[in-house]
Amino acid sequence: MAFHPPLYYVLGSLLCADNGNLLEEHLVVNELPGVILLKEAPYAGAALQGKKKSAYVLRCFSLICGAVTVFFVYNCALILFPGTTWLAALIALFVGMNPEFMHVSASVSNDNLNTALATACLFSLFCFLKNPFSIQRAGMCGILAGCALMTKNPSLVLLPVLCLSSVYVVHKYGVRKTGGALGVLFLLLSVIGGWWYVRNWLLFNDPLLTKAMATAHPWAPRYA
């Protein structure tokens, strides 16, 4: 989709081989209000190659992203509830066994990369809050947040979380001690993830490209 941030599609293109054939030669796309159904074309052939192979590779990539999400959910829970591995495992199990999560994790969707990066960013933020003087931890948090912003717009909810965390760090330790690390965090976040929204604002006066979303999915009330 042209209105989504490009990171997932760039990574997906690296995993997919372009044999010159059209996707319609392998898949039948039936786009309905609120859902897109894909099924194998009857004339696509049985061999796992070309676009068909790429679809399976992307689904495997989605499964890996889902596993990464569960892994970081577990580790975030360990930080929030130290010493309670049973509770962390229960929380991770609750996330991993969620029917919607399992469905999306087995699909070709940028949601999987988005959730993986967002949970990794939260884990990195928790680690940074333990040592807010670490440039390395701040940099990793900024990189992950920037990549999440370049995957899907809902990752923008990370911004108020990072801002509130920064206010807490400055209030507790002072700006002189933490200013350098926080500067690195937000600099990397802006360089990696900010340019896309600035570009959309300058070109279309629409940072989130909500107008394009409404045109592509007129039935979706969230774009109205």
pTM (two decimals): 0.85
Going by pLDDT thresholds of 50, 70 and 90, the confidence category of residue 168 is very high
- Please state, rounded to an integer, the average pLDDT across all residues of the chain: 85
Indicate whether 24 pLDDT > 60. Answer: no
Q: What is the DSSP letter of 40?
A: E
User: If you average pLDDT over residues 162-179, what whole number do you get?
Assistant: 95
Contact 192, 146 (CB under 8 A): yes
Mean pLDDT of 170-192: 95
Judge whether residue 125 has pLDDT over 90. yes
What pLDDT, in 10s, does the model give residues 49-93?
666 777 788 889 999 999 999 999 999 999 999 999 999 999 999
pLDDT value of position 4 = 84
Q: Note the pLDDT of residue 198.
A: 93
| Cβ atoms 112, 104 nearer than 8 A | yes
Task: Identify the band that residue 224 occupies on the pLDDT scale cut at 50, 70 and 90.
Answer: very low
Q: For residue 185, how many other CB atoms are within 10 A of its CB?
A: 29
Contact residues for 56 (Cβ-Cβ < 8 A; gap 6+):
48
Q: What percent of the chain shows pLDDT beyond 70? A: 77
Q: Using 50, 70 and 90 to split pLDDT, how confident is the model at 48?
A: low
> Which residues is 28 bridged to in the sheet?
39
Neighbours of 202 (CB within 10 A): 9
Query: Who contacts 140 (Cβ-Cβ below 8 Å, separation ≥6)?
Result: 124, 128
Delimit the domains of the chain by residue range: 6-17+51-204
Q: Which amino acid is at 178?
A: T
Go through the chain and tell me how many residues it has. Answer: 224
| Nearest partner of 17 among 61, 44, 55, 45, judged by Cα | 55
Helix spans in 44-157 (H): 50-80, 85-96, 99-105, 110-130, 135-149
The closest alpha carbon to 184, from 120, 135, 133, 144, belongs to 135
